[in-house]
Amino acid sequence: MCGRYAASGDLSELVEEFDIELDRHDEPTASLLKNPQDPPAGAPDWNMAPTKQAPVVLTRSDPDSGEQRRQLRLLTWGLVPSWAKDPSVGARMINARADTLADKPAFARALAARRALVPAQGWYEWQASPTAVDAKGKPRKQPFFIHRGDGTTLAMAGLYEFWRDKSAPADDPAAWVVSFTIITTEAEPGLDRIHDRQPLVLEPEDWKRWLDPSLTDPEGVADLLSYAAPGRFAAYPVGRGVNSNRNNGPGLILPAAPAELIGVVDPMTGEVIG
């Protein structure tokens, strides 16, 4: 699964990297957070957590020209289906399994017409130790940071959806919750020593087809849902500060000190460290 990631890229850089035609990150939509987002939505966030608003790339019709344009928007992490009675269900839909998307009512319609890319510098995953336990006697969990070995921005495949608060005025733009989920696949060799799932990461040559809203037959992107290219990623253990979503900053992705590693499995060699 992917339950935390680093959305630490500058928005202006994302506009360039993803060939954005319309930067609409400042378009108002409803937030599901009880308190103001910290860091503010759109600012570099090294500890992106569910229900926060994050940069997402999608292609939609431009209301001014009517043409399909690639856009950058801020969407809420945790997909809320249009038919949901309460937007709180989104907190349970932060991930969607690639192999069952077409069979799930919450995701099937979005798969057909509302596909997106979620930019990230990397994601966090927690490895359950085979040898060490915590104070409660459960396997000790070590956080890892996983990123592209070439240092470029990840493009995680996602889906997005619109949900409207029917109690809000008809002309209130904040009545709309625009949300997304991150698609996951089986973890590749090496990364499966950290967790058995990982985000589906697409390459630049596939972005246009994945984002094309006119491609409404899921069979047209079926091969992308099973895309895999082992060897793209590097992973290393980081400090336990990332365990709390109150912590933030670039220090979260610094490698953990050797003394902090207890019963940690090296994802490349399988060796137990500490």
Mean pLDDT, residues 182-205 taken together: 97
Average pLDDT, the chain: 95
- pLDDT of amino acid 182: 98
**125 included as an active-site residue:** yes
- pLDDT of amino acid 174: 78
**271 included as an active-site residue:** no
> Structural domain of residue 14, as residue ranges?
5-123+153-229
The total domain count for the chain is 1
- Full DSSP string of 18-87: TT-SEE-TTS------SS--SSPTTS-EEEE-TTSEEEEEEEEE-TTT--EEEEEEEEEES---TT-S-G
- pLDDT of amino acid 257: 95
Q: pLDDT of 91-113, one tens digit each? A: 999 999 999 998 999 999 999 99
Mean pLDDT, residues 44-59 taken together: 98
Q: What phi, psi does 184 have (nearest 5°)?
A: -120, 155
CATH number of domain containing 95: 3.90.1680.10
One of 2, 17, 188, 260 is an active-site residue; which one? 2
In a domain, 113, yes or no: yes
In a domain, 117, yes or no: yes
One of 16, 125, 161, 219 is an active-site residue; which one? 125
pLDDT band at 175 (very low <50, low <70, confident <90, very high): confident
